[in-house]
Amino acid sequence: MGLDMYLYRKKKNVPVGRDDEKIAYWRKANAVRKYFIDKCGYPANGNCQPYPVKKEQLVTLVKICMDIWREYTWRVQEYTDEHPENTVQEMNDAVWADMRDYCEENLPSESGFFFGDTSYDDWYLDRLIGTAQEVTNVINLVDWDTEDVYYYEWW
């Protein structure tokens, strides 16, 4: 049991149905869920309901994920240059402590029943990198002139 989130595509002007194609999946990526709630206007209690997603919303999500990745890699390089004697674990702990406010501002995590860990760490970053890759594939896969995309979650 846990937070499962999906993107589906369907033909325009056709009701949501069983023949819709699942084109993206996340498990316990609560920061991505929070993006859809906060930035796309979906209700926080929208469990098991389809919500339309615009291409621009997905483009913005990819940009946010990549901005966090770039900020993390920049801070890793800066820390490594300033503290070459420290271990990888010390560096990682220090960088994530420093990244907390940046992540909270740009793509905050969200707690919830079975929503997964809310820490800002390698797991969080891994989910964002995966999100950027998967959503970029969705953006390129969908024929936005003839198809619609919707977000669906189950928890």
> What is the extent of the structural domain holding 100?
4-154
Inter-residue contact 128 to 68 (CB < 8 Å)? yes
Does the reported pTM lie above 0.85?
A: yes
Kindly report, residue by residue over 102-143, the tens digit of the pLDDT: 999 999 999 877 888 999 999 999 999 999 999 999 999 999
Q: How many domains does the chain have?
A: 1
Positive or negative, the CA dihedral 64, 66, 70, 76 is positive
User: Is the pLDDT at 46 greater than 80, yes or no?
Assistant: no
Tell me the CA end-to-end span of the chain in Å, nearest whole number: 7
Kindly report, residue by residue over 54-105, the tens digit of the pLDDT: 999 999 999 999 999 999 999 999 999 999 999 999 999 999 999 999 999 9
CA-to-CA distance for 146 and 135, rounded, in angstroms? 18
Mean pLDDT across the stretch 41-58? Answer: 88
CA-to-CA distance for 84 and 30, rounded, in angstroms? 34
Assigned token pair, 12 = 């325009």
Strands (E), the chain: 4-11, 21-27, 51-53, 147-154
